Chains A and B, each alone.
Chain A
Amino acid sequence: MQGSFLCRFTGSNIGLKVLMALTGIVLSLFVLAHVSGNLLMFAGEAKMNGYAHMLKASAMVLWGARSVLLASVLLHVYSAIKLYKRRGDARPVGYGLKQPHGSTYAARTMIWSGPILALFIVYHLLHFTVGAAHPKFDEHNAYQNVVVGFSSIPVVAAYLIAMACLCLHLSHGVWSLMQTIGINRPNWECALRKVAIGYAVIICAGFVSIPLGVLFHIVK
């Protein structure tokens, strides 16, 4: 790690955290955009499919976006794994009794909600993008894919669990990244934490509304 200054930065704990935060920002913005688009499900088949086609209009833009996303997920996971390993090194002998105090449930479960999300993403891609995990996949009709996909209760349940994890992950993650890149200031903490929770809840509520909408036949 000698030599390059940037190398040293990315090797350091804070550097890795910043990497995680920057990729976290990309991912957080992606889910915001994704949920906004997906809510077109409530606007009817034409609008939704129009939007889906628009996204794929240019292969360059599509693959550009996909590579940014993929890189972000990979870097995010890379830094998560690397830091998690260091965590074990930093306290080789654990406590006989440790009572968490001051941390939120979401903060303590980042290491669970994250990987669950990773598994979800794989499944989700097979479900709606590749279609391999979809009973009646139609590459050109995203609307129908969703409606059909969510007609199965176990699938909806899996999505709801994943959204709960996303909500937890974001509710701590967004606050955490603002701390990591140094946005927090004296007396701001309370507000920043609320922003994070608000962001997480809004996004997840949006996502959740779709499978539930399908299940309860609001979206047909």
Chain B
Amino acid sequence: MSAENLSLTLKIWRQKNAASTGAFETYAMKDVSTHMSFLEMLDVLNEKLITEGKDPVAFDHDCREGICGTCGMMINGRPHGPMKATTTCQLHLRSFKDGDTIVIEPFRARAFPVLRDLVVDRASFDRIIQAGGFISANTGSAPEANSMPVPKHVSDEAMNAAACIGCGACVASCPNAAAMLFTGAKMSHLGLLPQGQPERFDRAIAMVQQMDAEGFGHCTNAAECTEACPKEIPIEMIAKMNRDYLRATIRGPHAKVTGGGGP
């Protein structure tokens, strides 16, 4: 066995479906290359399980390049594993040592029910966006793009916030299972830009309400989320959301945010 190969012990959460209770199961992985990605290791495990006639480990993934936000699991007690600013799909086995035991379990939150093994349902995030994470600009109504200059630093900061991939690691890492970083990022992205001003405060109220309704926890400003976030969304996005929500509350609500458009 060369130095490029590892033997690992995996403790993986197996759960048949949302209704059943799950448990950890242990699997031995022999001689896996350090160049392999973490998900490729699970692929190899699954190939083995399938040929043995066993159910493969279900996990979500799609782009495998750290942008779609589909993948995500707890790896040794940290969402997306030990490497900073890295999604599960971009984690490579060179981050582990020969003989390591790796504990793998799903993201856990009431608003993220486990569907099977490592697969969770994050539709709650979609509903937060549906509540107000948009600028109501019907197709065709847009003015010439350069008619509204946006200072570069504002646009850059909006981009920092907009980089969120909606993976849910912030929720998974948060001691209170709060969705503050995700929601704060979207609200800041839109709230920073001049285009987002008209709906800014109604958006704040609508999104915060939805976040609570989904059963996410509160924020004790623990800052685990920022550390876990593969896109390093900064924690001041949460402060900005709090500020907007406070201002919106003091100012009182305006028109309800609605789907708009159409006859």
Do A and B form a real pair? yes
A interface residue count range (under 10 / 10 to 19 / 20 to 34 / 35 or more): 35 or more
**Pair A12/B236 contact, Cβ less than 8 Å:** no
**Pair B212/A12 contact, Cβ less than 8 Å:** yes
Known A17-B218, A89-B110; judge A102-B227 contact (CB<8 A). Answer: yes
Who on chain A is nearest to B249 by CB?
A9
* Stretch with Cβ within 8 A of A (4 or more), from B91-99, B130-138, B193-201, B238-246: B238-246
Residues of B within 8 A of A3 (CB): none
* Stretch with Cβ within 8 A of B (4 or more), from A56-64, A133-141, A184-192, A212-220: A184-192
Who on chain A is nearest to B209 by CB?
A12
**Pair A98/B110 contact, Cβ less than 8 Å:** no
From A103, A104, A181, contact of B246 by CB (8 A):
A181
**Pair A179/B13 contact, Cβ less than 8 Å:** no
Residues of A within 8 A of B260 (CB): none
From A5, A14, A87, A102, contact of B176 by CB (8 A):
A87
**Pair A96/B110 contact, Cβ less than 8 Å:** no
- The smallest C-beta distance from A156 to any residue of chain B, in angstroms, reads 31
Contact with B along A110-138 (1 / 0, CB 8 A): 10000000000000000000000000000
Known A180-B221, A182-B240, A184-B239; judge A13-B178 contact (CB<8 A). Answer: yes
**Pair A90/B224 contact, Cβ less than 8 Å:** no
Residues of A within 8 A of B178 (CB): 13, 90
Contact with A along B12-29 (1 / 0, CB 8 A): 010000000000100000
**Pair A96/B218 contact, Cβ less than 8 Å:** no
Among A8, A98, A99, A186, which residue has the most Cβ atoms of chain B within 10 A?
A98
**Pair B222/A91 contact, Cβ less than 8 Å:** no
- The smallest C-beta distance from B76 to any residue of chain A, in angstroms, reads 7
From B24, B220, B223, B249, contact of A102 by CB (8 A):
B223
**Pair A101/B78 contact, Cβ less than 8 Å:** yes
Residues of B within 8 A of A92 (CB): 110
Docked complex: B219-234 residues within 8 A CB-CB of A:
219-228, 234
Who on chain B is nearest to A94 by CB?
B108
**Pair A17/B219 contact, Cβ less than 8 Å:** yes
**Pair A90/B234 contact, Cβ less than 8 Å:** no
Known A12-B212, A95-B77, A101-B173; judge A18-B242 contact (CB<8 A). Answer: yes
Query: Measured between alpha carbons, how far is A98 from B111 in the docked complex, in Å?
Result: 18
**Pair A185/B239 contact, Cβ less than 8 Å:** yes
Query: Measured between alpha carbons, how far is A57 from B74 in the docked complex, in Å?
Result: 60
Query: Measured between alpha carbons, how far is A110 from B175 in the docked complex, in Å?
Result: 12
Who on chain B is nearest to A8 by CB?
B209
**Pair B110/A103 contact, Cβ less than 8 Å:** no
Who on chain A is nearest to B243 by CB?
A182
- The smallest C-beta distance from A138 to any residue of chain B, in angstroms, reads 42
**Pair A87/B226 contact, Cβ less than 8 Å:** no
- B208 at interface (Cβ–Cβ under 8 A)? yes
Contact with B along A58-91 (1 / 0, CB 8 A): 0000000000000000000000000100110111
Residues of B within 8 A of A18 (CB): 242, 246
Query: Measured between alpha carbons, how far is A109 from B236 in the docked complex, in Å?
Result: 22
From B13, B105, B222, B234, contact of A107 by CB (8 A):
B222
- The smallest C-beta distance from B248 to any residue of chain A, in angstroms, reads 9
Residues of A within 8 A of B218 (CB): 13-14, 16-17, 83, 86-87
Residues of B within 8 A of A100 (CB): 175, 224
Closest 9 pairs (CB-CB, A-B): A182-B243, A102-B227, A90-B217, A99-B77, A184-B239, A13-B218, A90-B177, A103-B222, A97-B77
